[in-house]
Amino acid sequence: MTTTITLTGAGGQIGYALLFRIAAGDLLGPDEPVRLRLLEIPQGLGAAEGAALELQDGAFGLLEHVEVTDDPAVGFDGADLALLVGARPRGPGMERGDLLAANAGIFGPQGAAIAAHAASGVRVTVVGNPANTNALIAAASADGVPAERFTALTRLDENRARAQVAQTLSVPVDEVRQVIIWGNHSATQFPDLSQATVAGQSALDALSTTVGDVRAWQEDSFIPRVAGRGAEVIQVRGSSSVASAASATIDHVRDWVLGSEEWTSAGVVSHGEYGVPEGLISSFPVRSENGSWQIVEGLEIGEWARARIDASVAELLDEREAVRALGML
């Protein structure tokens, strides 16, 4: 059966990096045909139409159809997967509240259009920032669609964290597992190594032989590096991460749809797990079973970790309050 995938912001940078990987079968596998719906705002239609021409020229056997539109009703029609990448970037002089308001104006109507037009089993992944709160707004506006179907991308943070550990230990990144990202996709996030393994052994033990005081290394080096990586890329590259973000989006959606025995991290709705207030979309350790994310429960959280999780969750609560104060939630 053909899977219908809606991509918002399809004329943007991440969109361009995502489209060709989806068409090549990296998302759902080499035997799964896809139909793409590219949703843009009028200013972005030309770039999305150009990408559609190139998709045609790629002669991808799995790609059945591409449609470009600026109408959410058309864009989300029959969507099995919705990748919400398009967002309003922070402009000069814009305060955080302005950014939240501008994005609430995008993700509210998109949530409503998803509820009205997408397939009944739609799964939504929000990439556009602020991703967690945008996902919350979309979920709240999507009457009848369970909040569990709305997720925010924190897989890029997890990939970054795994790569930092692998580089520090000079091991292949594939050997580094069970790194958890807690909280918000922002500088307050907590990349947690307490459960992480390297080739099946405790990562913290392996790190202590390399870096010495592993707590100090986490506080002074690892956490700021991972949590600040988005800003580092912006500074070095001159614009925000693109191909790594697209790759993490592929990882997130593929595991969600096809299942993941390994733990990974994703922004999913809280039912109160680990003391995270109900309804927030926060990053947790998750595993995908039968097509839905399950939060890995029962992990022990020490005092040091608790304070870091609480700080990021406090930021998510602030964002939710700010959107509520604007009357948009």
Cβ proximity to ligand LMR, 91 vs 298, nearer residue: 91
- CB 3 within 8 Å of CB 33: yes
Q: How far apart are CA 119 and CA 111, in angstroms?
A: 13
Sites for ligand NAD among residues 186-205 (CB under 6 A)? none
Nearest alpha-carbon partner for 1 in 74, 56, 80, 75: 80
- CB 274 within 8 Å of CB 308: no
Instruction: Tell me if 255 contacts ligand NAD by CB under 6 A.
Output: no
Q: How far apart are CA 85 and CA 129, in angstroms?
A: 8
Residue 248 sits at φ, ψ, to 5 deg, of: -65, -35
Instruction: Tell me if 108 contacts ligand NAD by CB under 6 A.
Output: no
Candidate segments 5-13, 158-166, 271-279, 293-301, binder of ligand NAD by CB under 6 A = 5-13
Instruction: Tell me if 111 contacts ligand NAD by CB under 6 A.
Output: no
Site string for ligand NAD, 67-106 (x = CB under 6 A): ------------------xxxxx----------------x
Q: Is 271 a catalytic residue?
A: no
The residues, ordered by sequence, that sit 6+ positions from 317 with a Cβ below 8 Å of its Cβ are 277, 280
- CB 323 within 8 Å of CB 100: yes
The binder of 301, among ligand NAD, ligand LMR, none, by C-beta within 5 to 8 A per type, is none
Sites for ligand NAD among residues 200-229 (CB under 6 A)? none
Q: What residues are designated binding site for substrate?
A: 90, 96, 129, 160
Minimum Å gap between C-beta 240 and ligand LMR is 4
- State the sign of the Cα–Cα–Cα–Cα dihedral 95, 284, 84, 187: positive
Size of residue set near ligand NAD by CB under 6 A? 30
Interface pick for ligand LMR out of 53, 216, 231, 307 (rule CB under 6 A)? 231
Q: How far apart are CA 287 and CA 192, in angstroms?
A: 16
Q: How far apart are CA 193 and CA 255, in angstroms?
A: 21
Q: Which helix (H) or strand (E) holds 65?
A: strand 63-69
Instruction: Tell me if 69 contacts ligand LMR by CB under 6 A.
Output: no
Cβ proximity to ligand LMR, 72 vs 183, nearer residue: 183
Minimum Å gap between C-beta 237 and ligand LMR is 10
- State the sign of the Cα–Cα–Cα–Cα dihedral 175, 178, 83, 324: negative
Instruction: Tell me if 241 contacts ligand LMR by CB under 6 A.
Output: yes
Contact residues: ligand NAD, CB under 6 A: 8-9, 11-15, 39-41, 43-44, 47, 85-89, 106, 127-129, 131, 153, 156, 185, 240-242, 245
Active site residues: 185
